[in-house]
Chain A
Amino acid sequence: MAKELKLMKGNQAIAEAAIRMGCDGYFGYPITPQSEVLEHLMAERPYLTTGMVVLQAESELASINMVYAGASTGKRVMTSSSSPGFSLMQEGLSYIAGAELPALCVNVVRGGPGLGTIQPSQSDYFQTTKGGGHGDYRLITLAPASVQEMYDFVELGFDLAFKYRNPAAILSDGVIGQVMEKVMVDDYKPRWTNEYIEEHCPWAATGHRAGGKSTIVTSLELEALKQEAINERIQAKYRKCEEEDARHEAIQCDDAEYLFVAYGSAARICMKAMELARAEGIKVGLVRPITLWPFPTKAVAEIGGRMKKILSVEMNAGQMIEDVKLAVNCNVPVEHYGRYGGVIPTPVEIFEALKKMVK
């Protein structure tokens, strides 16, 4: 079967992409609004076709540790959850980063704090981009703004995770998870063979003592000087990632005097607000960060530097605005507009906020 056009929910696209790109295992626990990932996988039963393992774990703690262990053996494994469940996974993510393992985790964000609501939100920006768990580590964070990107970022996420041997996250929200859109799906790719893994992942504990020496996967190093050296190696990877893999999309920025910076579903709503604004003669553009970490600092500095004012539009109380301000070094005024707790800002509201800022 070649490429095929499908109508899918964002959550289903995650699952479908995992099967088709040759993912080896998914371990997850139900939580709204992302349960369709596990549901779709269980309905498709890839264990009968591609051999992909799918397991409903007893908790998010178990899921993320299954991912940790699966990744330890060089397999391409992933999990998905929503905010409260993702919080439970932070310890595991820190271990995965500390043991320098590649893995993919998806957070379909809902409003918090606490049990919060099940409605869409972007209030986990800080948690995802600034660490979340303990220790000096980062998650490579992709922010899809469409169902197609939900699909595409699964393979991209694994590619980046393996490039840097670091966990990657897809930071989505209830809108992108629940909305159905057209998706062009790829042909099925085979999973990696054990031989391929032995050849390309010498760090993996495959059970076979590759090279006649036993492989140990651990994040423990009790000697501070050695632990510092590990940290230096990890930080060097992060600098390289910032240099090579920051991504963004710029929309109608060439003639713009004002700029929206927004990601994910907020960016989509901003596009509608741009239509309204441009119809009234306000020249506004949009920079949509695609990687939230590494943040597209250079692009925001370069494009944002030309603007009169910048509005950071987020479904939270103001989190990404800090990275926007750092990017333009506070040379351009940056304001925030946001709704939170599961409320989605409307295009009209954002347009009004823009008008207020322009005045």
Chain B
Amino acid sequence: MTREDIIKPENLVYKRTSVLKDATMHYCPGCGHGTVHRIIAEVIEEMGIQDNVVGISPVGCSVLAYNYFDVDFVEAAHGRAPACASAIKRLRPETFVFSYQGDGDLASIGCAEVMHACNRGENITMIFINNGIYGMTGGQMAPTTLEGMETVTCPYGRDPEIMGHTMRLTEALAQLPGTYYVTRQAVYTPALARKCKKAIRQAFENQKLNKGVSFVEVTSNCNSGWKMTAVQANKWMEENTLKYFPLGDMKVNGKFDPKFIERIATFDQPNETLYSLRKK
């Protein structure tokens, strides 16, 4: 095939969605942010809502998300994206509204706002990227950092007796009556990314129903923060993170997934994953 053949429109197999701007992302290679950005942008394009959507970006690695999406965006103060999204949806109920936050932003400083937005049952879509660490500020401990895991602010491993336990906030949110759809996804393989796209599409479609919050956690690696290569980081995530933060739906159409009910019944048991990490 010559170059001329390749660029013929009929040979086109993939292109950048027009909802993403032609900008080079600043994310580390192997990070999940870029993939999730693309998924959200594709969903917006496929739903035809590019001119009727407002995104809320957080403080953290994705603070500049508005530079990549070609939709109206509001940059929130640290942790306050759910409050921002609540206000915009209430003032403009006809507009699709989504917040995009990391784990430091959502689970630590913004814990109150996410809890209450979920408890009020705001008719919004929340995307939560959980990589178990503060990426932008240089790899500090987050509420979601696994017990035993090393970061620059717990260089000897997270000791729950001093630093608190690894926080499963999404599981808590699923138990609030204001959440309608709660799921945990990942994007480190093509199959998982396709599944994640379905979930995010569902989370946006749900806004048409006005039934409450649709919440998608995407478990991601932070290879630079974890001080690993991208490949190592994905393997580590699979072996450790996903044991404590297993993928799958927790609540669909306002109903608990049966597996989720089984799982939360074990929450008072010691977790083997954490135990082995701690021992090291």
Contact = CB atoms under 8 A, between A and B. Distances in A.
B52 A59 contact: no
B247 interface: no
B92 interface: yes
Nearest to B54: A207
A70 B87 contact: yes
B83 A72 contact: no
B91 A53 contact: yes
Contacts of A347: none
A250 interface: no
Contacts of B146: none
A66 B92 CA distance: 13
Interface in A123-140: none
Interface of chain B, helix or strand or loop or mixed? mixed
Nearest to A197: B92
A205 B73 contact: yes
A263 B142 CA distance: 47
Contacts of B67: 216
A58 interface: yes
Contact of B87 (A61, A69, A91): A69
Interface stretch (A36-44, A173-181, A217-225, A296-304): A217-225
B66 to A, nearest CB: 5
A100 interface: no
Interface in B163-215: none
Contacts of B45: none
Nearest to A62: B83
A68 interface: yes
Interface in A22-57: 24-25, 27, 53, 55, 57
Given A66-B86, A209-B70, A61 B75 contact: no
A262 B80 CA distance: 38
B3 to A, nearest CB: 32
A325 interface: no
A66 B76 CA distance: 10
Contacts of A220: 63-64, 75
A27 B84 CA distance: 11
B85 interface: yes
Contact of B77 (A65, A194, A206): A65
Nearest to A61: B80
A207 B72 CA distance: 5
Given A61-B112, A205-B54, A66 B87 contact: yes
A73 interface: yes
Interface of A: 24-25, 27, 53, 55, 57-59, 61-63, 65-70, 72-73, 75, 77, 91-92, 95, 99, 194, 205-209, 214-220
Interface of B: 50-54, 56, 63-64, 66-67, 69-77, 80, 83-88, 90-92, 95-97, 112-113, 115-116
